[in-house]
């Protein structure tokens, strides 16, 4: 199990190293953000772009496994499928936590989607998109990707299209039902997006555990 985790971390070593470098700069940011606001605004913008592109850790780990041949290769290793499942989840969660600390430390709290004051905060979206990948990207097992949802289509859909549909739907319902499109603007939809993603990841984990026990 530990060797699997180490292998997975090494496969994502550049991402982990990048996160560590960004975190090492955090004390300087805290001290000088009011002195060099333009520099740090530019830096945080670049960090946001990086985090946006990195918000599908399970997909990127799968690509390092060998993409379409990963399924055959992984199951030929002298380890149990339960160990593969656990190491996959722990790696994705660990890298996601590192990314979350980066976003929290640099106070990245803006929203890509905002409709009639219905916001989807990027902080929560980053976590949610990583967790939803277990459901949409790897519904059968961690070594077999859903070929119908490639990486960047997944990122764009989860970050933009689904929040857009939710925002328009909620605003439309508020307008039709209460004659007020701002009726639900007090709800933190980004946070609830995260809650649903956490539930989906948990359900998918136990679903795959049950499947493995039946094999």
Number of domains in the chain: 1
Please tell me which residue, 2 or 104, carries the higher pLDDT value: 104
Residue 121: both structure tokens together: 């905060």
| pTM attached to this predicted model | 0.87
pLDDT digits (tens, 9 = 90+) for 15-67: 899 999 999 999 999 999 888 889 999 999 999 999 998 888 888 877 766 65
Q: Which pLDDT score, from 0 to 100, does residue 19 have?
A: 94
The Cα–Cα gap between 68 and 138 comes to 12
Q: In this model, does residue 72 exceed pLDDT 90?
A: no
pLDDT at 130 over 90: yes
Domain that holds residue 160: 2-214
Cα–Cα nearest to 123, from 145, 139, 144, 105: 105
- Rounded to whole angstroms, what are the CA distances from 41 to 48, 50, 54, 140? 10, 14, 20, 41
């Amino acid at each position: 199990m530990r060797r699997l985790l180490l292998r997975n971390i090494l496969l994502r070593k550049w991402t982990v190293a990048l996160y560590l470098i960004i975190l090492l700069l955090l004390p300087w940011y805290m001290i000088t953000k009011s002195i060099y606001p333009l520099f740090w605004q530019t830096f945080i913008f670049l960090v946001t772009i990086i985090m946006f592109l990195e918000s599908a850790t399970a997909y990127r780990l799968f690509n390092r496994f060998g993409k379409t041949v990963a399924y055959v290769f992984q199951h030929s290793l002298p380890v149990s499928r339960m160990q593969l499942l656990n190491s996959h989840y722990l790696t994705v969660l660990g890298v996601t936590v590192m990314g979350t600390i980066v976003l929290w430390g640099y106070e990245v709290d803006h929203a890509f989607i905002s409709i009639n004051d219905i916001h989807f905060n990027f902080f929560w979206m980053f976590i949610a998109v990583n967790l939803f990948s277990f459901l949409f990207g790897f519904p059968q097992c961690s070594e077999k990707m859903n070929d119908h949802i490639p990486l960047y289509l997944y990122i764009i859909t989860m970050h933009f299209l689904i929040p857009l549909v939710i925002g328009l739907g909620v605003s439309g319902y508020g307008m039709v039902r209460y004659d007020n499109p701002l009726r639900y603007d007090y709800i933190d939809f980004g946070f609830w997006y995260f809650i649903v993603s956490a539930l989906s990841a948990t359900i998918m984990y136990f679903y795959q555990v049950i499947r493995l026990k039946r094999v």
